[in-house]
Structure 1
Amino acid sequence: MILDLETLGDAPPRPRVAVIGAGAVGIVLAVALARKGVPVLLCESGGRTVDPAAQALNDAVVAGRAHTGIAEGRARILGGTSTLWGGQLIAFRDIDFAPRPWLGLEGWPFGRDTLAPYYEAVATMLGLPLRSDDDAAVWSALNVSPPALGPDVEFVLTRWLKEANLARMFARELAENPNLTVLLHATATGFEASGGRIDSVTLRAPGGRELLLAADDFIVASGTIEASRLMLAAADARPGLPWAGNMWVGASFQDHLDVRVGTVHPIDKKRFHDAFDNIFLKGYKYNPKVALAAHVQAAERITNVGGVFTFESSFTEHLGNLKIFLRAMRSGGVPPNLKAMPRHFAALAKMWWPLIIRYLRDNRAFNPADLGIGLRLHVEQKPLRESRITLHPTRRDANGVPLAVLDWRLDGSELEAMARFCEVLAPVLERERFARLEVDPRVAARDPAIFAEARDTNHHCGGLRIGATAADGVVDADLRVHGTDNLHIAGAAVYPSSSFANPTFTAMALALRLADRLEA
């Protein structure tokens, strides 16, 4: 059942669990609990479609390094940021959970083996046809051998969902599961507590209507930045809340750095494309990536690095102009650059046939790369306590909640990881006759000027990290907020470190693990 706080008649039945935030993590968690027979109320700040008033609640201030994702990477809508992402899934590796003293990390309170069954449960829930860690099965289905890159570079395949928007994927259950109620336009603004127990959360609609929602358990799954802001603002308004004095609330914010570090010149074009072109099987996409092996990372005392080859082509420009043309025709407008359209159509006509042949014959993408091939890196940020989210002292949103202030900081150590990755990868590519890697001179020289071109990736992590005690973090190994009996945080906000991988798969796996604990 889907309700709207703005137009709500009677208050919804008291749920056993209230989930705050209907993005990828909140939806997976709420659906999993409802399937177990647990009554759940899933609260979403936005509506079914983009609502400017709701989206305006994301207004924030960037005080440190420029960060576009604080605006572009957050969505207040049923489905949350799953309405924005491409649906890419990649699990964290063993080293991501292990102690890494060279980064000041004591490790997660559990290893990858603890999450392994939950990765597979998420993959099954989302309809993936092959195990998330079985790359060999993908290559076997193609009847080819996987690329050999040696012991220092790992070859990995990321999985992509057919339907990335989880509100659409689970539309029927969100509307019809008798154990699940969705409440739209319901923004959480604070908590009421008795000692260590949360009694209720205050929900506010755009028109000002408020609802004090009681439940047995509460889960904040509203995204890294908003979850940190809610916890900070709630403690600011109620200094007696258990986490009010916790120095880790808002601290150690992380994002991945995305940067083009070199140009790739294939030696054997067929060999290169057979290794690194996207794979399509039964309608699912698999994206080849390369990553620095864990033993190299440990020996070099650096952060995680993963790389992807980007095929730069005028095909993208021609296809973009075709979309603009068709959009204008549908709306009855005058297409821009009409005189250039024959050139775009002619260029696309030359590419359609090889594209179709490559797809049907080889189950691969066709990448003409007439503008070159680049190597882009996703680099794990070293966690820094001073990289953090705080509250603005004077500016507030329409609900009276202080705006978030993001002070995103780096210490520059990521540059060494970028340079060493290129130095390890280049001879491997050449030895195996894949390609010659021409590394950006700034990377080779360890010149911090390259950071000016490194952008954030909308992979927000940290702010409410896991720690054994309140002196070490905000939540315990079961994602329960220290000092409380029934408040949990779900999502990448709890990560003490961030790997190089998209954080969503691991966040959903943690959500299913939490669902098991709440069911017990």
Structure 2
Amino acid sequence: MHRPRGGQDGDHRPVIVSTATARTRVPDADVCVVGAGPAGLALAARLSERGRSVLLLESGLDRPDLRTQRLNRGTVVGHPTWRLDRSRLRAVGGSGQVWGGWCRALDAEDLRPRAWLPGSGWPLSAADLDPYLAPARSLLGLPAEPPHLEPGVDDDAFATAAGMDVVGYEFSPLRHSVGSHALGARPADDGVVLLQGATVVAMEALGTRRRIDRLVVATADGAHLVVRPRLLVLATGGIENARLLLVAGLGNEHDLVGRYFMDHVHAHVGLLALDEDRSRSPLFAALRHDRRGGGAAWGPALAGSPATRRADRLLAAAFTLTAAPHTYGQPYLALPVRLRLLVDDVARRNALAGRTELVPADLHPHDRRVVRRLIRHHEELQRARFTRGRGRLGLTDAADVRALYVRGEQAPNPDSRVRLDRRRDAHGVPRASLDWQVTDVDRASVEGWVDHVAHAAADSPGIRLLRDPAWQRSIVGGPHHMGTTRMATDPRDGVVDADARVHTVDNLYVAGSSVFPTGGYTNPTLPLVMLALRLADHLADHYVGQPQG
């Protein structure tokens, strides 16, 4: 099943893919990685490139299916957010299969401690991560160099007046296909044995509990395998990494596993109206571009500048312009959070079942009518609100009106957390319970940035802002699961150290955005891939090949 590994960096060995069954012979490997999402795939690719053998365990198959997805079921309490079996996928590529492709590295400011913000500050600097930007870009299908902003965009007077910078997002061509790309026939992926349908149900640390001695793995045919890892990396996402550690009772000596759960605060905060001259400016022409359609590779956003963040004690945030939320076909982003989550839940369930209709056919006819009526009623409300807003601004029908959409950072909060639920999954493992909290600090920061935009608009001819006083009702998460196994130098402040090793377990590491101490405003995929590559180099340089105690 597995060819003998060579001893030199760069030896080429093929990816071997199989579905785990009772008859599977578990291969010996330098590193065992649990989870074949973007972090796990990047880690396996880099380790293999360095000549190390990897056993990659993935609970799902090539595509998500309803049976495996049920293992992600859990309870959501606190602020309404995405169902746990809808916001993440068990399949090769993980949630990269439903990722929108948004890519941007964290800003240097995101990593620095902020005296006014408890829990902020990474044990890494931008210089520690910079060497991994180019290889991470390559893995995600991005060009070697990011595109330059259009002339006249990055020095726009409106952005300066708002205390903001114009930043660029890129959009990976691999959205929805991270797994198929990362496990293609490329030298960087040689030497990886991928077991699909292999669900880790227990981690056992015997003796001193300083080492993971055994993994119990449930297979696709209902059997169990035992894996004895030399080095183990959990790369199962911000919910599941914490869940596995809590089930095993590892790394939680200071009651930190599962705490500090963060997402990004997403919401429509108002309408921005532009007259004809202003709408032709390079900045607003670029901001109005539909970055998710037409094969667009990049697009700008207005992001709070580091200087303004420090001066006003504001969390990071970025703003983009979207189509006006009343527009037919665009109600999704403007729905009140509970209805938006319902619509998304239905859409994802239909996608897994191979259906395309908005309302599932398996609902009771009465329920289908209720859901359709709710959506139609909300669309009518949005149109009425939009019409009233245009009237308050004195706009003609020809005016260019866009919705202002925010992606905001959350303050570290130990009470926002993942716990274990009383209910169990099909393997008898306790499910996760997520208590996502959106605090007054998070809301006040968004309001502070909207104040800056409003002041800049008031001083800028041709720009008018209509704030939405009810914007908080539309707050929803990315969903970007971060922070539940946060990184810190001191074990009293975090679960893993600067090299992503669990402080109290010698051979256990964690990859992915669960190690983020703070989240900035940036989508986490590119940064977490950078961290995974750094971890792979650390393991290859310092541990692999050494005698195991």
Which interval holds the TM-score relative to the shorter structure?
0.7 to 0.9
State the 1:429 CA deviation. Answer: 4.6
Secondary structure of the residue aligned to 1:61 is: strand
Structure 1 residue 145 displacement after superposition:
5.4
Distance of aligned partners of 1:5 and 1:25 in 2 relative to their CA distance in 1, 3 Å threshold: same
Q: Structure 1 residues 256, 500: closer, same or farther in 2, change over 3 A?
A: same
State the one-letter code of the partner of 2:217.
Answer: L
Corresponding residue number in structure 1 for 2:337: none
2:372 corresponds in structure 1 to none
Could you tell me how far 1:483 is from its partner in structure 2? Answer: 1.2
Q: What's the counterpart of residue 389 of structure 1?
A: 418
The residue number in structure 2 matching 1:252 is 260
User: Partner amino acid for 1:288?
Assistant: P
> 2:174 matched to 1:163?
yes
1:3 is aligned to 18
User: Structure 2 CA distance, aligned partners of 1:44 and 1:482?
Assistant: 25
Contact persistence 2:273–2:464 (CA under 8 A): yes
In 1, Cα distance between equivalents of 2:472 and 2:325: 25
**For 1:516 and 1:209, how far apart are their aligned partners in 2?**
34
The aligned residue for residue 473 of structure 2 is: 452
TM-score normalised to the size of structure 1? 0.81
Matched with 1:264 is 272
- Residue range with higher mean Cα deviation, 280-289 or 12-21: 280-289
2:466 is the counterpart of 1:438: yes
CA contact (8 A) 1:216 1:486 kept: yes
Between the aligned partners of 2:494 and 2:462, the Cα distance in structure 1 is 45
* Offset of residue 484 of structure 1: 1.5
Aligned partner of 1:59 in structure 2 is 73
Quote the offset at 1:517 in angstroms: 0.5
Aligned pair partner of 1:408 in 431, 436, 443: 436
What's the counterpart of residue 403 of structure 2? 374
- CA shift for structure 1 position 106: 4.5
Match of residue 509 from structure 2? 488
Q: Which moved more, 1:297-306 or 1:400-409?
A: 297-306
- Structure 2 residue 213 is the aligned partner of structure 1 residue 199: yes
d(CA) in 2 for partners of 1:163, 1:456: 22
Q: Distance in 1 between matches of 2:287 and 2:27?
A: 52
| Distance 1:246-1:11 versus aligned 2 partners, 3 A rule | farther
| Secondary structure, counterpart of 2:261 in structure 1 | strand
* Aligned-partner residue type, residue 452 of structure 2: V
Say yes or no: does 1:42 pair with 2:65. Answer: no
CA contact (8 A) 1:34 1:40 kept: yes
Describe the superposition over 1:63-104 as per-residue Cα deviations: whole angstroms up to 9, x where unpaired: 222111523211011110000111110111112111112220
Aligned partner letter, 1:269? S
| 1:224-259 CA-partner distances (Å, limit 9, x unpaired) | 001111110111xxxxx4x24331011111111111
Report the TM-score when normalising by structure 2. Answer: 0.77
Q: Show CA shifts across 1:28-75 (max 9, x none).
A: 111111121110011111111222111000010112221115232110
Q: Tell me how many residue pairs correspond in the alignment.
A: 456
Structure 1 residues not aligned, in runs of 5+: 236-240, 321-325, 329-367, 443-449
Q: Which residue of 2 aligns with 1:475?
A: 496
Note closer, same or farther for the CA distance 1:282–1:253 as it changes in structure 2 (3 Å cut). closer
Contact in 2 for aligned 1:467/1:475 (Cα 8 Å): yes
- Residue in structure 2 matching 1:30, options 44, 48, 62: 44
SS in 1 for 2:160: coil
The list of structure 1 runs, each at least 4 consecutive aligned residues, that deviate by more than 6 angstroms after superposition, is 279-282, 313-316, 368-371
Q: How does 1:335-374 map to 2 (within 5 A)?
A: 372-374=401-403
- In the aligned structure 2, how far is the partner of 1:21 from the partner of 1:512? 15
Q: Percent same amino acid among aligned pairs?
A: 30
- Letter of the 2:168 partner, please give it: L
CA distance in 2, matches of 1:73, 1:327: 18
Which residue does 1:340 correspond to in 2?
none
2:448 is aligned to 420
Describe the shift of the 1:111–1:244 C-alpha distance in structure 2 as closer, same or farther (beyond 3 A): closer
Other structure's SS at 2:495 match: coil
Deviation, structure 1 residue 370: 8.9
5+ residue gaps, structure 2: 1-15, 333-354, 358-396, 542-549
How far did 1:19 drift? Answer: 0.7
Contact 1:103 1:302 in 2 (8 A): no
**Aligned equivalents of 2:306 and 2:441: distance in 1?**
17
How does 1:210-229 map onto structure 2 within 5 Å? 210-229=224-243
Give the drift of 1:269: 1.9
Cα distance change, pair 317–453 in 1 and its aligned pair in 2 (3 A):
closer
Query: Structure 2 matches for 1:322-341, cutoff 5 A?
Result: none
Q: For 1:493-504, list aligned pairs within 5 A.
A: 493-504=514-525
AA matched with 1:256: H
The letter of the residue matching 1:171 is L
Q: What letter corresponds to residue 260 of structure 2 in structure 1?
A: S
Q: CA deviation at 1:453?
A: 1.7
Counterpart of 2:119, as a letter, is: L
Match of 2:379 in 1: none
Task: Using the TM superposition, give the Cα deviation of residue 439 of structure 1 relative to its aligned residue in structure 2, in angstroms.
Answer: 1.6
Partner secondary structure for residue 225 of structure 1: helix
Partner of 1:335: none
Q: Is the 8 A contact 2:273 2:399 kept in 1?
A: no
**1:276 partnered with 2:249:** no
Question: Which amino acid is 2:17 matched to?
Answer: I
Deviation of 1:174 after TM superposition, in Å, equals 8.2
Residues 3-45 of structure 1: per-residue CA shift (max 9 Å, x gap): 1113x63413211111101111111111111121110011111
Question: 2: distance between equivalents of 1:125 and 1:432?
Answer: 42
Inter-partner Cα distance in structure 2 for 1:278 and 1:53: 39
Distance in structure 2 (CA, Å) of the matches to 1:468 and 1:32 = 25
Hey, what does 1:181 align to over in structure 2? 193
Matched, 1:190 2:202: yes
Report if aligned partners of 1:292, 1:305 keep a CA contact under 8 Å in 2. yes
Contact 1:69 1:458 in 2 (8 A): no
Structure 2 match to 1:153: 164
State the secondary structure of the residue aligned to 1:253: coil
Question: Which has the higher mean CA deviation after the structures are superposed, 145-154 or 157-166?
Answer: 145-154
Q: Of 518, 534, 547, which residue of structure 2 is paired with 1:513?
A: 534
Counterparts in 2 of 1:175 and 1:53: CA distance versus 1, 3 Å: farther
* Contact preservation (8 Å) 1:22, 1:43: yes
Structure 1, 498-507 or 473-482: larger mean CA deviation:
498-507
For the residues of structure 2 that align with 1:114 and 1:303, how far apart are their CA atoms? 23
Say if 1:412 and 1:315 are closer, same or farther in 2 by CA, change over 3 A.
closer
- The answer as to whether partners of 2:213 and 2:228 remain within 8 angstroms in 1 is yes
